[in-house]
């Protein structure tokens, strides 16, 4: 049965404000520190080891393009010679941001989502049976597979990022699609059976994708910290920590939004299937063999 559009929107809005309220809980804020610490340690460690090497490599790569050299010479002629010094670092940051976003999403999915789903289930869906349709290994393989595919899409779309409108559209769409794929699977992995999960991800495809895209655009907001000015490179260590923390909070909110929406949809699915089980007719053979229905006399067997 097709669910009316107004009902689907009501479910999405209801799940949205519940997820926002849960983000204010001290437990959720404390949980966000774990992926934050892992992400910041990894990003700062890699930056400490490879920042100069990466900038030098990008600068050498730019110098091989005559068109880029002509552009930089033109900038010098108009008094913008300083842009030459920050172009390579800006490109390194632009290439690193998508990787940081994807890594933050996966860390939240692995380190926070199971606990957040249990928090939502314990407060709203205590009676919802856990059918454990997918284990940890299946969820990890699912996440890694779609992560690699999303990174491939980001790489293939890089030439389009130089078109101003598309750079504001394509990356958030890819992040949103990845969020939809990863979070939908993770929030249903423990409670839904494999068949229920597949049915919900098929029947609720558009609402789940809409939630993913909205959170994808929310996840793109911390990237604006780097777009304010080239001078922000001076504060790169501080901005890295701040942006990673914002990514973590956005994806924690996404996990809560998917959990509220997904578990509510699973509960509705089982409630719709319950009347069919209760009203199942008694088999004819059992009715014929019942003494109460046959007046106590042995029931005659049907001919072979």
- Read off the pLDDT of residues 149-176 as tens digits, 9 standing for 90 and up: 998 998 898 888 777 778 778 888 998 9
Query: Is residue 20 assigned to a domain?
Result: yes
- Read off the pLDDT of residues 111-141 as tens digits, 9 standing for 90 and up: 899 999 999 999 999 999 999 999 888 988 9
If one compares 85 and 249, the residue with the highest pLDDT of the two is 249
pLDDT at residue number 294: 43
Q: What percent of the chain has pLDDT over 90?
A: 37
Q: What is the pTM of this model?
A: 0.79
Query: Is residue 180 assigned to a domain?
Result: yes
H helical segments located in 78-223: 83-111, 113-124, 136-156, 164-167, 170-189, 194-203, 205-220
- Rounded distance, CA 285 to CA 89, Å? 79
- Read off the pLDDT of residues 197-225 as tens digits, 9 standing for 90 and up: 999 999 999 999 999 999 988 877 776 66
CA nearest to 138, candidates 169, 97, 167, 109: 109
Q: Which of 28-32, 56-60, 65-69, 254-258 has the lowest mean pLDDT?
A: 65-69
- Rounded distance, CA 225 to CA 93, Å? 11
Q: Which of 8-12, 86-90, 178-182 has the lowest mean pLDDT?
A: 86-90
Candidate ranges 23-32, 84-93, 182-191, 288-297; pick with highest mean pLDDT: 182-191
Query: Is residue 120 assigned to a domain?
Result: yes
- Read off the pLDDT of residues 20-53 as tens digits, 9 standing for 90 and up: 999 999 989 888 888 888 888 888 888 888 888 9
Query: Is residue 13 assigned to a domain?
Result: yes
- Read off the pLDDT of residues 269-297 as tens digits, 9 standing for 90 and up: 999 887 654 444 555 554 444 444 444 44
Query: Is residue 33 assigned to a domain?
Result: yes
Number of separate domains in the chain: 1
The mean per-residue pLDDT over the stretch 264-273 comes to: 92
- Read off the pLDDT of residues 220-246 as tens digits, 9 standing for 90 and up: 777 666 655 555 666 666 777 787 888
Query: Is residue 65 assigned to a domain?
Result: no
Q: What percent of the chain has pLDDT over 70?
A: 76
Query: Is residue 241 assigned to a domain?
Result: yes
Q: Average per-residue pLDDT in the chain?
A: 81
How many Cβ atoms are within 10 Å of 37's Cβ, its own excluded?
Answer: 13
Query: Is residue 266 assigned to a domain?
Result: yes
Tell me the residue range of the domain where 24 lies: 7-46+95-272
CB within 8 Å of 247: residues ≥ 6 apart? 39, 100, 101, 104, 105, 219, 222
């Amino acid at each position: 049965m097709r669910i009316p559009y107004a009902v689907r929107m009501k479910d999405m809005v209801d799940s949205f404000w519940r997820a926002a309220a849960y983000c204010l809980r001290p437990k959720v804020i404390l949980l966000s520190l774990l992926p934050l610490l892992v992400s910041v340690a990894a990003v700062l460690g890699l930056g400490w080891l490879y920042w100069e090497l990466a900038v030098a490599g990008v600068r050498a790569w730019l110098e091989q393009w005559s068109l880029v050299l002509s552009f930089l010479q033109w900038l010098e002629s108009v008094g913008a010679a300083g842009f030459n010094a920050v172009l390579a670092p800006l490109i390194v940051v632009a290439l690193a941001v998508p990787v940081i976003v994807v890594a933050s999403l996966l860390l939240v999915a692995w380190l926070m989502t199971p606990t957040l789903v249990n928090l939502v289930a314990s407060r709203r869906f205590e009676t919802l049976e856990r059918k454990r349709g997918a284990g940890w290994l299946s969820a990890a393989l699912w996440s890694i597979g779609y992560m690699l595919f999303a990174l491939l899409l980001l790489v293939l779309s890089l030439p389009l990022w130089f078109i101003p409108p598309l750079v504001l559209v394509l990356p958030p769409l890819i992040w949103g699609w990845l969020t939809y794929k990863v979070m939908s699977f993770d929030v249903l992995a423990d409670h839904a059976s494999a068949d229920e999960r597949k049915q919900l991800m098929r029947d609720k495809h558009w609402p789940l994708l809409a939630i993913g895209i909205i959170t994808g655009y929310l996840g793109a907001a911390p990237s604006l910290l780097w777009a304010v000015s080239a001078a922000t490179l001076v504060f790169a260590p501080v901005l890295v920590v701040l942006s990673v923390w914002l990514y973590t909070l956005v994806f924690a909110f996404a996990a809560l939004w998917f959990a509220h929406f997904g578990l509510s949809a699973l509960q509705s699915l089982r409630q719709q299937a319950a009347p069919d089980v209760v009203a199942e007719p008694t088999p004819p053979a059992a009715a014929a063999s019942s003494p109460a229905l046959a007046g106590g006399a042995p029931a005659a067997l049907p001919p072979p």
